[in-house]
Chains A and B, each alone.
Chain A
Amino acid sequence: MTARVLRRVAIFVVSVLAASIVVFLFMAVLPGDPAQVALGVNATPELLAKTRAEFGIDRPLVTQYFDWIGGVLHGDFGRSYVTRDAIGPQLLDRLGVTLWLVGAGMLVALVIAIPAGTFAAVKHRKASGAGVSGLSQIGVAIPAFLAGIILVQIFAVQLRWLPSGGWTPPDRNAGEFVRGLILPALSLGLVQGAVLTRYVRSAVLDTLGQDYLRTARSKGLRPGQALVRHGLRNASVPVVTVLGLQLATLLIGAVVVERVFVLPGLGSMLLDAVSARDLLTVQGIVLVLVVGVLLVNFVVDVLYTVLDPRLRGS
């Protein structure tokens, strides 16, 4: 098991380095001089040269890359060309917001999907089970931003129960923080919940047909007890796979939801940096997102090993 995890760690590190090179080169070949963009249209050649030197973009690409990645490894992402702020602390701050959003969205999705999917599987021959399946089909078809707009109209604009957007950090006012997170988390989580419900249903259905469940029931356990004691752990393996894949889509959904709910997360930071041609910031954000997705894959891989003993030997 240790060897397997170590191999995964090695793959993870190599992937991150490869990704950093790709991101860096991609930004380097993009048209547009960051100094020109930062200084505006009437900047003098002398000032442009001075600013390029100040940004360090007048040096060879290889030097720039090693400086950048060397800094990143020490947690220093450089200073933004546009805001003149250190990028690293900004990234961490914005990442916090996005992770809260994704985490809360995932929680909502799981709270919906596990009972609903299990219910739909156990009652798959009954109308109630088919009803839950049907509802999940509708949920899958609704994009997160539309769910967000509808939720805002009902709960913020009409009923005025919850804020329509904005962010309160949890350490300042926990109540406001939770109130502000409810609608974004719901709009992200409802759709994800619908997607996951279908996977949970098919995974549980699969498990229900297995011999060991029949054995468990023949020992006198009721169907529900048999499922909880012996089935769910097995059913969770494919669900965790999907969960990992879905986490990446959840990150992308979060970008859109952040715009709808005016949350200062990574997604809105990325959109702003792109429109301001703030390349160093874009570079940093993309790297963090890529590492995030790779990290999820890594964790899913390790979780398999924990959940499914058969994989430990391999």
Chain B
Amino acid sequence: MKARIPAVAAVLLLAVSGCSAGSSASVSAGPDTLSVGFTAEPANFDFTRTDGAAIPQALLYNVYEGLVKLDAQSRIVPLLAKSWTVSPDRRTYDFQLQQGVRFSNGAPFTAEDVKFSLLRVKKDWTISIKSTMDVVDHVDVVAPDHARVVLSKPSNGWLFSLTSRLGAMFSPTGVGDLATKPVGTGPYVVAARKRGDSVVLKANPAYWGRKPAYSTVVLKYIKDPTALNNSLFSNGIDVISAITAPDSIPQFQADDRFQVVQGTTNSEVTLAMNNVRPPLNDVRVRQALTYAIDRKALLDTAWAGRGTLIGSMVPPTDPWYEDLSNVYRFDPARAKALLSEAGATNLNLRLRIPNLPYAVSAAQVVQSQLADVGVRTTIEPLDFPAVWLKQVFTDHDYDLSIIQHVEARDITTFGKPKYYWGYDSKRVQQLLAEADSGTPEQQVADMKQVARQLNTDAAADWLFLLPNVVVAKTKVGGFAANQVSESFDLTGLAPR
């Protein structure tokens, strides 16, 4: 009898073995295989109908390609378009296309597909950023390798958006089941997926451009930062795409097996202030709060001192960047004076934050520093994304919040009075419009004005810019330090 109970357990084990069959995704490692660890897993493969960063991070530039792409210095460079010209009135774009390009389902890529893809954004996409494409008036197929896009008004923002997922090229024969079967022109195709574990990309044998150095790339999804680090330490993966536990970086730096590459991102960690609601509708109160917070000390606490103090909604990789981090130098006395001038004593503000580690630790610093100038805050962590999006972002039910804004060039959100900032400035709206329609030089000048105006109005407090920290085995090379596009671009990676 003694043996029977373990035997029952063993039988149970054998009985369930059938359940997990036929669902493999990770592959055995070889020199042609690279494993990259990420924290956020794509819900599905359809970035035309599903919001969030995880899908374009995996697929853009790797599986899908656009006419143009963004390089690591945030410059717009050719991809499926060999070259392009802009008409003098800045409304007509003529794209000369690469020849001999095929989609992974075998269909050839032509100007017809450009037309189909660009018009499809307005028609079938459902995510919020698609509105940038509304400016497209029509698309002409001049020749199979020549597409002409005519805008209803000039827009610099439009060409920039083409570098994001909005510019991804689709085939009419390849959009039947985007959520599970992506069909693009890129150097990789999706070969397998194991939900909750990994996505496997294989090199596309018919790729028109330069063959990628790794024939197989396994994207491993590991939510917990410690587990992600352990996986690199124990050879489970070769690369951590972005470190989310900055305290662990010295551990990797101290080990010769690894290299640490640090650069910048587009991700401004922002103390949002509800500009329409008293007392924060008074510019003096917002300025007082900005003076009251020691951003250097906050960065040390919230992100181990790594990251950049920027003082505006502009990352250093944008052409109109200026360092505005010293405009509001930490000055509690000045903060108190401004508060009493505004008659805003005895304040009690609701600091409603997403329940994410960086926001929680930053909120505690904000709370204690504001207490030093006599402003009480109540920290309310909200479940992210569902509850935070509903209550803070959609219903504007908050005084203060702390959140990273990851989209490129999202300074334009300050031009929308209905956005959750509640910031409404005719001057800023006009400058943004002029910047979008003007020449590149005018754009730079106008955008600088926008950033300065926002800073003067203390429309928000830009606490710091998140760094991009990639940790990889030393044998892997080709990393771009900056993470400026939506894509984790695999095409430059190679053994060294």
Residues of A within 8 A of B (CB): 32, 37-43, 47, 82-85, 90, 92-97, 99-100, 103-104, 106-107, 110-111, 114, 149, 152-153, 156-157, 160, 162-173, 176, 228, 232-233, 236, 239-240, 243, 259-262, 264-265, 268-269, 272, 275-277
Contact = CB atoms under 8 A, between A and B. Distances in A.
Interface of B: 1-2, 5-6, 9-10, 12-13, 16-24, 26, 28, 41, 43-44, 46, 49-51, 126-128, 131, 179-180, 194-197, 220, 222-224, 226-227, 230-231, 233-236, 383, 386, 389-390, 393-394
A244 to B, nearest CB: 12
Contacts of A259: 223-224, 227
Contact of A99 (B12, B196, B389): B12
17 contacts: A32-B390, A84-B46, A84-B179, A94-B195, A110-B9, A157-B234, A160-B235, A163-B234, A169-B22, A169-B24, A172-B24, A232-B1, A236-B5, A239-B5, A261-B227, A262-B197, A264-B197
Given A84-B44, A166-B220, A157 B1 contact: no
Contacts of B12: 99, 103, 106
Contact of B9 (A42, A95, A107, A153): A107
A167 B194 contact: yes
Given A103-B13, A107-B9, A110-B5, A164 B20 contact: no
Given A40-B128, A107-B9, A100 B231 contact: no
Given A172-B24, A232-B2, A275-B383, A100 B197 contact: no
A82 B385 CA distance: 14
Contacts of A163: 231, 234-236
Contacts of A95: 16, 19
B230 A233 contact: no
Nearest to A149: B226
Contact of A97 (B10, B20, B24): B20
Contact of B393 (A41, A83, A156, A261): A41
A83 B43 contact: yes
Nearest to B15: A99
A169 B196 CA distance: 14
B16 A90 contact: no
B1 A165 contact: no
Contacts, number: 171
Contacts of B21: 96, 169-171
A90 B193 CA distance: 12
Chain A to chain B: the 6 pairs with minimum beta-carbon distance, closest first = A96-B19, A264-B196, A96-B20, A42-B128, A99-B16, A164-B230
B389 to A, nearest CB: 6
Given A262-B231, A264-B196, A103 B389 contact: no
A301 to B, nearest CB: 15
B234 A228 contact: no
A259 to B, nearest CB: 6
A23 to B, nearest CB: 20
Nearest to B5: A110
| Chain B CB within 10 A, most for which of A32, A39, A239, A264 | A264
B20 A262 contact: no
Given A156-B234, A157-B230, A165-B227, A264 B194 contact: yes
Given A93-B23, A95-B19, A40 B234 contact: no
